[in-house]
């Protein structure tokens, strides 16, 4: 592998600038004449706008413009859209309500943007925003999806009767019913998957610049996928045609899904820049982040899991109500459907599966993909249910899982997915060994002697990364293709630039992607640069989400490297007077195998550009591009074991051990992969123990709108993790890699909850398992 090649623990090239505070984020961008924006936001969860008086605000010091939704509409700026069409089971298309970038007739959640103020300073913009006088007529609000479906609930969008967006199903309902009817045992549960606020360290920000001389727009923004942002802003919002709109996503401080979507602010700032004649910057404060970043999860589900007399699963029936908030965010419709219900087979052979999903409007922030996106919801549902079934059936949780594991691959589930490779028993064995599962009883007894209740729980997850192929997702309703692009430019001196449509916002692409080149051509990673995040520099790309940069983005790079290698070998063969098939590239040398005839990599590159002596008919240069469209998802899987101690006096849970055994296929940089697992588990522990989003059910006010009330995981909330890997290579991509970005957040919540409920002997506990809730559950 070489010291910097595939499989090497190379330190992250990008960390020097990050840890010395030298990263360049959107808020660091300064352009001549730049002014600052503040948004006027609805203080009400649901209200009719009776009038907007901007006169007082417009006359305040430093104010350049105060603009409203009517002016935006008059200029032909379009509404925000959801880019994945889902049809209800009766064949009707989803009921997508109108989402104006600046609300006109009605506001639908606290934080809904109503007007923008542009001023010389941020403080002046805020002062003036407070002086914009909006007359509201308040309407009753509803925040819980279950409530929003009830008769008489406030109607949020006129074209979504009963607040229902779609009523969708997958699988064979009759077969699942039959399995349940004839089952030897059925485990039934009510499962709530708690709503989460993403809380990226860097708040959302945008800088919109309109250049009147060129009639050209530039948008700096905190985006995980700048090309998609440009596409959507051009095609649907009519901000500008693509060739006149440059989108740049520079360093981005975390996304976790929340920066996939196009939000009102970047559209409005671009438009406001043209309208007011000045560049317009907006940076969210933390309160705006809480109120308006797309939230995650928020499912309420009933589940029935049927077993035969041999404890084999025979059927699964799931009924889910998912809260999508006040508007349909860009990919919101796909999360509780194709990213969720298609994973309900888990690691198990379940002959009959049926899932029904109703998605619902409420007067809350829009809900969309958040680290894991649908797969955490599926995994939590299944793994809590399987653990509960083991307790009801009186068998060990490991044995019940072993009895039902899928062991033959490829495996076609009843819910679309075709699992290509895996060895679930291997990860289960690895995790149980690392956790010293068999020694638990002694540890429990020892904890008892200290007055602590100790519990152990496991979770066997599967997830799907690199959502694909484009043709298939298109047939399921996706508005975009899900391929990735790459261009490899070898410079005349042999240094290499990789242009990628993937976007790094913490993932370490500048290092891992460079490792591919180091591995292939034997050049040091310092001579490899990764270029991303700028639509003027990089060819069309699809961005980073769904753990796709490895399996899809790197595969595109490999395809381009293949082409470069072929051309480099042809040049070398010509110069060395050898046959192309005898040329090998080793340690930065392009050699004739078995001889000492060799050229330096840089010599081949230079020859490609001098073009003094190339094979007949060959074009000069050494630069190749590729698009890669996967033939299947990849299916990372693994087993997590969590051990907790609960203080019976206070209900406080301490995680005393956490073991992860993941199968991510082949690994490029184990250190970066471990970092992803650590971060993912941290977020999963956050969901399980700490993070609960609460809206006031009457007023629709977000009660957890700051870190005083929303509990983010801190260093002392999480343990040291024991992380290990088993490997089954992914057969569908050239590197045999899967995806690791979300697994930790997907697999860990059920392990934590299974451990706590084991410790306290009460299975009736919802996330987050706060000390108060655990204490109450111990007394129930």
Partner 1 sequence: MYETTYHRAGSVEEAVKLMGEADGGKFVAGGQTLIPTMKQRLAAPDSLIDLRHIADLKGISVDGANVRIGAGTTHYDVANSADLKAVCPGLCSLASHIGDPQVRHMGTIGGSISNNDPAADYPSAMLALGATIHTSKRDIAADDFFTGMFETALDEDEIVTAVSFTAPDACAYSKFPNPASRYAMAGVFVAKGGNGVRVGVTGAGNDGVYRWSDAEAALSSDFSAGALDGLSVDAGDMMEDLHGTADYRANLVKVMAKRAVASAG
For residues 639 and 397, is the Cβ–Cβ distance under 8 A?
Answer: no
192 interacts with partner 1 by CB under 8 A: no
- Residues that bind partner 1 (rule: CB under 8 A) add up to a total of 24
Judged on CB neighbours under 10 Å (0-12, 13-18, 19+), 175 is middle
711 interacts with partner 1 by CB under 8 A: yes
Q: How many Å apart are CA 737 and CA 725, to the nearest integer?
A: 13
Judged on CB neighbours under 10 Å (0-12, 13-18, 19+), 423 is middle
Among 137, 526, 580, 709, binds partner 1 (CB under 8 A): 709
CA 668 to centroid of chain Cα atoms: 20
The residue among 115 and 564 lying less far from partner 1, judged by its C-beta, is 115
With CA atoms as reference, report the closest residue to 416 among 171, 722, 582, 189: 171
The residue among 451 and 600 lying less far from partner 1, judged by its C-beta, is 451
708 interacts with partner 1 by CB under 8 A: yes
With CA atoms as reference, report the closest residue to 221 among 535, 581, 437, 468: 535
Closest separation between CB of residue 221 and partner 1, Å? 25
Closest separation between CB of residue 709 and partner 1, Å? 5
Closest separation between CB of residue 55 and partner 1, Å? 21
Closest separation between CB of residue 758 and partner 1, Å? 22
The residue among 194 and 332 lying less far from partner 1, judged by its C-beta, is 194
The alpha carbon torsion through 657, 662, 667, 673 (nearest 10 deg) reads -40
764 interacts with partner 1 by CB under 8 A: no
Q: Which residues pair with 68 in a beta bridge?
A: 115
772 interacts with partner 1 by CB under 8 A: yes
Among 126, 185, 216, 391, binds partner 1 (CB under 8 A): 126
Among 4, 71, 112, 127, binds partner 1 (CB under 8 A): 127
Q: How many Å apart are CA 693 and CA 238, to the nearest integer?
A: 35
The residue among 650 and 764 lying less far from partner 1, judged by its C-beta, is 650
Indicate the SS3 state at residue 626: strand
710 interacts with partner 1 by CB under 8 A: yes
Closest separation between CB of residue 34 and partner 1, Å? 21
Phi, psi angles (nearest 5°) of residue 372: 110, -45
201 interacts with partner 1 by CB under 8 A: no
Determine the straight-line distance between the first and last CA of the chain, rounded to whole angstroms.
57
Phi, psi angles (nearest 5°) of residue 586: -140, 130
Binding mask 524-563 for partner 1 (x = CB under 8 A): ----------------------------------------
Stretch of 18-26, 35-43, 672-680, 768-776 lying at the interface with partner 1 (CB under 8 A):
768-776
Q: How many Å apart are CA 114 and CA 99, to the nearest integer?
A: 12
Task: Please count the other Cβ atoms lying within 10 Å of the Cβ belonging to residue 427.
Answer: 26
419 interacts with partner 1 by CB under 8 A: no
The residue among 354 and 453 lying less far from partner 1, judged by its C-beta, is 453
Among 704, 724, 762, 763, binds partner 1 (CB under 8 A): 704
Q: Which residues between 677 and 696 bind partner 1 (CB under 8 A)?
A: 690, 694
Kind and range of the H or E run holding 185 = strand 185-193
703 interacts with partner 1 by CB under 8 A: yes
56 interacts with partner 1 by CB under 8 A: no
The DSSP secondary structure of 549-593, one letter per residue, reads IIIIIIHHHHHHHHHHHHHHHHHHHHHHT--GGGEEEETTEEEET
766 interacts with partner 1 by CB under 8 A: no
Closest separation between CB of residue 465 and partner 1, Å? 32
Judged on CB neighbours under 10 Å (0-12, 13-18, 19+), 433 is middle
The residue among 323 and 770 lying less far from partner 1, judged by its C-beta, is 770
Closest separation between CB of residue 649 and partner 1, Å? 5
Stretch of 315-323, 368-376, 648-656, 676-684 lying at the interface with partner 1 (CB under 8 A):
648-656
Phi, psi angles (nearest 5°) of residue 296: -125, 160
770 interacts with partner 1 by CB under 8 A: yes
Q: Which residues between 95 and 124 bind partner 1 (CB under 8 A)?
A: 123
698 interacts with partner 1 by CB under 8 A: no
Helix 397-404 vs helix 375-393: crossing angle, to nearest 10: 110
Report which DSSP code applies to 84. Answer: B
Q: How many Å apart are CA 371 and CA 545, to the nearest integer?
A: 8
Binding mask 264-293 for partner 1 (x = CB under 8 A): -----------------------x------
Stretch of 234-242, 331-339, 606-614, 771-779 lying at the interface with partner 1 (CB under 8 A):
771-779
Residues that bind partner 1 (CB under 8 A): 123, 126-127, 130, 287, 649-652, 690, 694, 703-704, 707-712, 770-772, 775-776
């Amino acid at each position: 592998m070489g010291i910097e090649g595939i499989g090497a623990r190379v330190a992250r090239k990008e960390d020097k600038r990050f840890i010395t505070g030298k990263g360049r984020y959107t808020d660091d961008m300064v352009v001549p004449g730049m002014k600052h924006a503040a948004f006027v936001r609805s203080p009400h969860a649901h209200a009719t706008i009776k009038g907007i008086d901007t006169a007082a605000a417009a006359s305040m010091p430093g104010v350049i413009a105060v603009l409203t939704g009517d002016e935006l509409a008059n200029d032909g700026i379009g509404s925000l859209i959801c880019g994945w069409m889902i049809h209800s089971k009766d064949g009707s298309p989803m009921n997508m309500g109108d989402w104006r970038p600046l609300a006109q007739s009605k506001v639908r959640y606290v934080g809904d943007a109503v007007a923008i103020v542009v001023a010389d300073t941020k403080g002046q913009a805020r002062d003036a925003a407070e002086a914009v006088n909006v007359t509201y007529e308040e309407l009753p609000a509803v925040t819980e999806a279950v409530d929003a479906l009830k008769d008489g609930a406030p109607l949020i969008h006129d074209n979504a009767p009963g607040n229902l967006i779609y009523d969708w199903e997958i699988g064979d309902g009759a077969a699942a019913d039959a399995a349940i009817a004839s089952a030897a045992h059925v485990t039934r549960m009510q499962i709530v998957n708690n709503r989460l606020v993403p809380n990226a360290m860097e708040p959302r920000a945008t800088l919109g610049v309109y250049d009147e001389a060129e009639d050209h727009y530039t948008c700096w923004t905190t985006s995980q996928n700048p090309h998609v942002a440009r596409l959507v802003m051009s095609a649907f919002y009519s901000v500008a045609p693509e060739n006149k709109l440059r989108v740049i996503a520079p360093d981005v401080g975390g996304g976790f899904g929340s920066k996939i979507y196009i939000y009102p602010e970047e559209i409005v700032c671009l438009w406001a820049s043209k309208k007011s004649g000045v560049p317009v910057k907006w940076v969210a404060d933390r309160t705006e982040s809480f109120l308006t970043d797309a939230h995650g999860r928020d499912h309420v589900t009933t589940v029935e899991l049927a077993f035969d007399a041999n404890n084999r699963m025979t059927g699964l029936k799931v009924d889910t109500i998912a809260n999508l908030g006040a508007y349909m965010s860009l990919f919101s419709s796909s999360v509780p459907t194709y990213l969720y219900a298609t994973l309900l087979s888990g690691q198990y052979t379940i002959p009959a599966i049926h899932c029904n999903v109703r998605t619902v409007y409420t007067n809350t922030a829009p809900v969309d993909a958040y680290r894991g996106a649908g797969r955490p919801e599926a995994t939590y549902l299944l793994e809590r249910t399987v653990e509960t079934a083991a307790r009801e059936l009186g068998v060990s949780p490991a044995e019940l899982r072993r009895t039902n594991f899928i062991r033959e691959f490829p495996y076609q589930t009843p819910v679309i997915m075709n699992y290509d490779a895996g060895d679930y028993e291997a990860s289960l064995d690895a995790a149980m060994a690392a956790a010293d599962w068999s020694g638990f009883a002694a540890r429990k007894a020892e904890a008892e002697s200290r007055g602590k209740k100790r519990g152990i729980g496991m979770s066997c997850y599967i997830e799907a990364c690199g959502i694909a192929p484009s043709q298939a997702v298109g047939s399921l309703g996706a508005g975009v293709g899900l391929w990735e692009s790459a261009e490899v430019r070898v410079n005349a001196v042999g240094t290499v630039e990789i242009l990628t449509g993937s976007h790094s916002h913490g993932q370490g692409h500048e290092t891992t992607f460079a490792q591919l080149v180091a591995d292939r051509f034997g050049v040091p990673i310092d001579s490899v640069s990764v270029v991303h995040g700028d639509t003027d520099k990089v060819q069309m790309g699809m961005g980073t989400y769904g753990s796709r940069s490895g399996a899809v983005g790197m595969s595109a790079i490999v395809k381009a490297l293949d082409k470069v290698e072929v051309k480099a070998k042809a040049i070398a063969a010509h110069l060395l007077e050898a046959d192309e098939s005898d040329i090998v590239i080793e340690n930065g040398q392009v050699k004739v195998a078995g001889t000492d005839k060799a050229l330096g990599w840089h010599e081949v590159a230079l020859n490609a550009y001098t073009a003094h002596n190339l094979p007949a008919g060959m074009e000069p240069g050494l630069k190749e591009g590729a698009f890669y469209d996967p033939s299947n998802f990849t299916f990372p899987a693994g087993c997590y074991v969590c051990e907790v101690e609960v203080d019976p006096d206070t209900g406080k849970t301490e995680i005393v051990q956490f073991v992860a055994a993941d199968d991510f296929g082949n690994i490029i940089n184990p250190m970066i992969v471990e970092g992803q697992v650590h971060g993912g588990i941290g977020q999963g522990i956050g969901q399980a123990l700490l993070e609960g989003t609460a809206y006031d059910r009457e007023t629709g006010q977000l009660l957890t709108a700051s870190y005083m009330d929303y509990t983010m995981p801190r260093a002392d909330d999480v343990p040291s993790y024991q992380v290990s890997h088993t490997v089954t290579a992914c057969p569908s991509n050239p590197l045999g890699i899967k995806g690791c970005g979300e697994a930790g957040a997907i697999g860990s919540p059920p392990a934590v909850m299974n451990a706590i409920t084991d410790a306290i002997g009460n299975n009736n506990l919802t996330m987050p398992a706060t000390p108060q809730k655990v204490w109450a559950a111990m007394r129930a």
